[in-house]
Amino acid sequence: QQQVKQSPQSLIVQKGGISIINCAYENTAFDYFPWYQQFPGKGPALLIAIRPDVSEKKEGRFTISFNKSAKQFSLHIMDSQPGDSATYFCAASKNDYKLSFGAGTTVTVRA
């Protein structure tokens, strides 16, 4: 049973464009929602994370939007660059413990 559903599976964006990835969760006890970036052959690296007491968090070109009532959160990558080409995973956990991961989104940024 997948606790976090992620879409799209892949997306292609032009350099300078906006990449948007969406996630939905079921467990209302989740209280930590991170996004990870993974390059081939590497472990996932934390990109940005949010807790449910805020609706938006921005760090540089990356923004998380969080909708607690809809149980959804999304990642926006502004001014996408070729170096952003990677696989992105959303995740969720309760009490900073086990992470439930989404299926992943492969982002390709075309120069």
Partner 1 sequence: GAVVSQHPSRVICKSGTSVKIECRSLDFQATTMFWYRQFPKQSLMLMATSNEGSKATYEQGVEKDKFLINHASLTLSTLTVTSAHPEDSSFYICSARDAQASNQPQHFGDGTRLSIL
Nearest Cα residue to 87 out of 2, 8, 30, 3: 8
* Spatial contact of 14 and 81, defined as CB atoms under 8 Å apart: no
The correct pick among 49, 52, 57, 61 for binding partner 1 (CB under 8 A) is 49
101 binds partner 1 (CB under 8 A): yes
Nearest Cα residue to 15 out of 104, 84, 86: 84
The two tokens of residue 16 are 């300078």
Closest to partner 1 by CB, 10 or 14: 10
The correct pick among 89, 92, 107, 109 for binding partner 1 (CB under 8 A) is 89
Closest to partner 1 by CB, 8 or 16: 8
The correct pick among 44, 74, 77, 88 for binding partner 1 (CB under 8 A) is 44
Residues of 61-81 as b/e, b for ≥16 C-beta within 10 angstroms? ebbbbbeeeebebbbbbeebe
The correct pick among 43, 53, 69, 70 for binding partner 1 (CB under 8 A) is 43
The two tokens of residue 58 are 């921005």
Choices 21-29, 43-51, 56-64, 68-76 (CB under 8 A): range interacting with partner 1: 43-51
Which residues would be at the binding site for partner 1 (CB under 8 A)?
A: 32, 36, 41-46, 49, 89, 93, 96-99, 101-104, 106
